[in-house]
Structure formats: structure tokens, C-alpha cells
Amino acid sequence: MKTLHSTTIALVLLSATGFSYGDGMNSMNMKDMPMSGQMAEQMNGKVHHGIGVVQRMDAINGRITIVHGPINSIPWPAMTMTFAVQDKKLLSQVKVGEKVAFDLMASGKDQYVVVQINQAHD
């Protein structure tokens, strides 16, 4: 019984502390909060350019797999990655095995979406 009473008191104290913290957050001005580099990049709409070869496309789910060279602005080494496309119509502009130039934008934490893709001209 004593354990139950102690547990109840502890829960009440923790709850009160949580509410106090929450009230403090309501008075904060979020404009003054620093943003992570990823969040700032997404809000600024920074576009990253890549060159690669289309390895696979999934038109139904709007995804494309590209074997790409380094993308220094992120920075990424050369690798194979699957990306979502901003608009599924973009997939009709390229074919599997084709060399492409593509643009990426951040769409979430460590997530990038293809916003433009075209045949690459050598």
C-alpha cells in the first residue's frame, strides 16, 4: 500500500512539472528559435543537382532509383539511391538505363525528393 501511495505522489509531481514546462513553451516566440541546417535548407528551397543513370522506376508509387555521382552540395559520395518524385509525370520524361540530370530538394529529415529530371546531355 505504501508503494502505491509513493507511486501516486511521484506521478502527480511529474505531471505538474510537465504542465509547467508546457506552459513555458506557449510563451516562446518560435521565430527566435535556431533551425537545424536541414530545416533551414528545406525552408529556403535549396536545390541540389545530380547526374546519374536510372536503374529502376516505380511509376505507381512515384519512386525512382538512380546510380548517381557525388552531390557535393549535400555532401554525398557516388551511390545508388531511391527517391520519391515530386510529380509522377516526371517519370515519363526518362527511361531505365538512361543518363539523367536531376534536381533534389529536402522534404524531411534526411529525405530528398526529385523535383526535376531530364536526359543528361554529354
3-state SS assignment for residue 99: strand
* pLDDT tens series, the chain, 122 aa: 555 555 545 444 444 444 443 444 444 333 333 434 444 444 457 999 999 999 999 999 999 999 999 999 998 999 999 999 999 999 999 999 999 999 999 988 779 999 999 999 87
Listed as own residue / partner, the contacts of 109-117 with beta carbons closer than 8 Å and 24 or more positions apart are 109/38, 110/38, 111/84, 112/48, 112/74, 112/83, 113/83, 113/84, 113/85, 113/86, 114/64, 114/83, 114/84, 114/85, 114/86, 114/90, 115/47, 115/86, 116/90, 117/64, 117/85, 117/90, 117/91, 117/93
pTM to 2 decimal places: 0.64
Superfamily the domain 37-119 falls into: Copper binding periplasmic protein CusF (2.40.50.320)
